[in-house]
């Protein structure tokens, strides 16, 4: 069989083997030892042509059903300008490696510099890295940073209102190490601020909170930064970056570290990945930042250029003393966010955030009129809100009936937490992309089920 991805002809093979001084391809593997060499190919299917593969994938793809998504919980269906796909697919971006050879990688380096700059602008903080895996992993990197920054710290205080999966990733991070998590409990859908001071002690490196939180509710951090800083601790806020177009920025709350996921800025839902974690910090934490960082410099002729910098923090230089093990990041996803933000501008970002806010409130307002479901907590929210059903039967029926109409009505919180107390909670997300027609479709179906 001839493989389009392997260019060798019989004649090429002969010539190359002769140069090497080997009789056969097999001979090149002879030092592996007969007991380990496979005599036959591994038991997977035979190769297929492009056309055959496309047909097979088409039939697999048919088993995915597209609906009108009112789903959120860290992944949202926002409008994405067509520039994003078109420009992020340019092959010299897509097929390049990490820009270690700066002269040959100015394009991506500059785009990452612009990404870092825009993340700084949005969070209000001083320095941002060139991306991390996702929002949850950015939170565990923040936890590691906070513990590393304070002498003898081994505990990170985390809010119970973090995204359930972020909390689970943090739990995995702490498990089996000398580090541990301590919890700031929840009260009425937001963290219980009155408990904060009593939970801070010598071992505590800092606090991680999230707004909009796991229910979509916005939290109030008045006084937090002062309290933490007085005790030499750091303050991390996780946020959906699009929400920062209208809600108070991490810098305005006095945070030292801002983390989150840029999925809401130009990345498709893509079954949850790739998304793109971001991290921004205050200037004094620069040398503790994990991951790649791009800086501007000049060449001998004084021309401005961009290069990976402060690499003495990273694993390929510092090995076990690095600030993190992260190497590959989510560069192409960060590029998509850069293109998205460049296309929207600040006004566009505010518009998307504002329309999401208004449309989410429109749906929430009308759903709240129906029997059998309530918006339990009277708290400000942005584009996602918790709906609590009076009983499980109605909730199941509601989800099923709306699914039959092609509407994904919301995410069951218990699906994420697997806790009985969350059984009746449905999280409904509405973005600027949901049209009036789609909102009315949802409401009409809801009225039919919940009469």
Q: Which of residues 176-235 bind other proteins (CB under 8 A)?
A: 176-179, 218, 220, 222
* Alpha-carbon Rg for the chain in angstroms: 26
Which is closer to other proteins, CB of 358 or CB of 368? Answer: 358
Site residues for other proteins, window 314-373 (CB under 8 A)? Answer: 314-322, 324-333, 335, 339, 341-349, 351-352, 355, 357-359, 361-362
Shortest distance, position 139 Cβ to other proteins, whole Å: 9
Shortest distance, position 213 Cβ to other proteins, whole Å: 13
- If binding means CB under 8 A, how many residues of this protein chain bind other proteins? 202
Q: How far apart are CA 438 and CA 49, in angstroms?
A: 41
Site residues for other proteins, window 234-263 (CB under 8 A)? Answer: 244-249, 252, 261
Helix (H) or strand (E) run with residue 331 in it:
helix 331-367
Site residues for other proteins, window 18-37 (CB under 8 A)? Answer: 19-22, 25, 28-29, 31-33, 35-37
Q: Look at the block and give the residue holding tokens 């190919």.
A: 41
Shortest distance, position 206 Cβ to other proteins, whole Å: 18
Site residues for other proteins, window 289-318 (CB under 8 A)? Answer: 292-301, 303-307, 309-310, 314-318
In the list 94, 195, 368, 444, the residue contacting other proteins (rule: CB under 8 A) is 94
419 binds other proteins (CB under 8 A): no
In the list 274, 374, 388, 405, the residue contacting other proteins (rule: CB under 8 A) is 274
Which is closer to other proteins, CB of 112 or CB of 228? Answer: 112
In the sheet that holds 204-210, the strands lie side by side as 127-128, 277-281, 257-261, 234-238, 204-210, 155-159, 180-184
Give strand pairing partners of 428: 385
Shortest distance, position 399 Cβ to other proteins, whole Å: 8
Q: Are strands 425-429 and 384-389 parallel, antiparallel or unpaired?
A: antiparallel
Q: How far apart are CA 282 and CA 207, in angstroms?
A: 15
Give strand pairing partners of 281: 127, 257
Asked if 119 and 338 count as a contact pair (C-beta separation under 8 A), the reply is no
In the list 227, 273, 375, 441, the residue contacting other proteins (rule: CB under 8 A) is 273
In the list 107, 288, 405, 441, the residue contacting other proteins (rule: CB under 8 A) is 107
420 binds other proteins (CB under 8 A): no
Q: How far apart are CA 380 and CA 27, in angstroms?
A: 70
446 binds other proteins (CB under 8 A): no
In the list 10, 50, 194, 421, the residue contacting other proteins (rule: CB under 8 A) is 50
CB neighbours (10 Å) of residue 81? 15
Cα torsion 433, 435, 438, 440: sign = positive
CB neighbours (10 Å) of residue 313? 21
Of the ranges 187-195, 202-210, 229-237, 414-422, which one interacts with other proteins (CB under 8 A)? 414-422
Tokens found for residue 231: 């005790």
Give strand pairing partners of 182: 157
Which is closer to other proteins, CB of 96 or CB of 199? Answer: 96
448 binds other proteins (CB under 8 A): no
Alpha-helical (H) ranges within 124-186 are: 135-149, 164-174
Phi-psi region of 131 (alpha: psi -120 to 50; beta: other; left: phi over 0): left
Asked if 214 and 377 count as a contact pair (C-beta separation under 8 A), the reply is no
In the list 23, 53, 392, 448, the residue contacting other proteins (rule: CB under 8 A) is 53
Site residues for other proteins, window 371-390 (CB under 8 A)? Answer: 380, 382
Residue 386: asked if its preceding bond is cis (omega within 30°), the reply is no
Helix (H) or strand (E) run with residue 108 in it:
helix 106-123
Asked if 446 and 402 count as a contact pair (C-beta separation under 8 A), the reply is yes
Which is closer to other proteins, CB of 136 or CB of 373? Answer: 136
411 binds other proteins (CB under 8 A): yes
Of the ranges 72-80, 180-188, 202-210, 389-397, which one interacts with other proteins (CB under 8 A)? 72-80
């Amino acid at each position: 069989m001839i493989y389009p991805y392997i260019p060798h002809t019989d004649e090429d093979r002969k010539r190359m083997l002769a140069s090497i001084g080997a009789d056969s391809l097999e001979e090149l593997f002879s030092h592996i030892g007969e007991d380990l060499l496979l005599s036959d190919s591994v038991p997977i299917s035979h190769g297929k042509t492009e056309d055959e593969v496309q047909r097979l994938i088409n039939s697999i793809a048919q088993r995915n059903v597209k609906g009108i998504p009112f789903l959120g919980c860290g992944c949202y269906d926002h409008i994405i300008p067509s520039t994003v796909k078109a420009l992020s697919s340019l092959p010299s971006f897509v097929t390049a490696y990490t820009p270690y050879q700066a002269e040959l990688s100015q394009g991506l380096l500059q785009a990452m510099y612009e990404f870092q700059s825009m993340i700084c602008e949005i969070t209000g903080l001083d320095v941002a890295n060139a991306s991390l895996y996702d929002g949850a992993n950015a939170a565990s990197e923040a936890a590691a940073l906070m513990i590393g920054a304070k002498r003898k710290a081994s505990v990170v205080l985390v809010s119970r209102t973090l995204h359930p999966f972020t909390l689970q990733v943090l739990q995995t991070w702490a498990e089996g190490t000398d580090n541990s998590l301590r919890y700031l409990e929840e009260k009425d859908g937001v963290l219980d601020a009155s408990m904060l001071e009593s939970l801070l002690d010598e071992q505590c490196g800092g606090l991680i909170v999230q707004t909009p939180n796991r229910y979509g509710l916005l939290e109030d951090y008045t006084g937090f930064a002062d309290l933490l800083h007085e005790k030499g601790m750091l303050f991390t806020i996780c946020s959906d970056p699009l929400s920062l177009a209208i809600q108070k920025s991490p810098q305005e709350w006095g945070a030292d570290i801002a983390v989150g996921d840029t999925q809401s800025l130009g990345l498709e839902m893509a079954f949850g990945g790739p998304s793109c974690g971001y991290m921004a910090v205050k200037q004094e934490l620069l040398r503790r930042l994990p991951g790649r960082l791009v800086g501007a410099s000049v060449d001998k002729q004084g021309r401005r250029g961009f290069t990976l910098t402060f690499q003495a923090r990273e694993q390929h230089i510092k090995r076990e003393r690095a600030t993190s093990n992260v190497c590959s990041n989510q560069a192409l996803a960060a590029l998509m966010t850069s293109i998205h933000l460049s296309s929207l501008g600040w006004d566009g970002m505010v518009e998307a955030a504002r329309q999401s806010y208004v449309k989410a409130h429109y749906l929430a307002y009308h759903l709240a009129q129906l029997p059998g479901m309530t918006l339990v907590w009277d708290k400000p929210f942005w584009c996602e809100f918790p709906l609590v059903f009076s009983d499980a039967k109605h909730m199941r029926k509601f989800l099923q009936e709306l699914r039959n109409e092609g509407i994904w009505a919301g995410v069951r919180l218990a699906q994420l937490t697997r806790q009985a107390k969350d059984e009746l909670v449905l999280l409904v997300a509405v973005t600027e992309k949901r049209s009036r027609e789609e909102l009315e479709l949802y409401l009409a179906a809801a009225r039919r089920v919940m009469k």
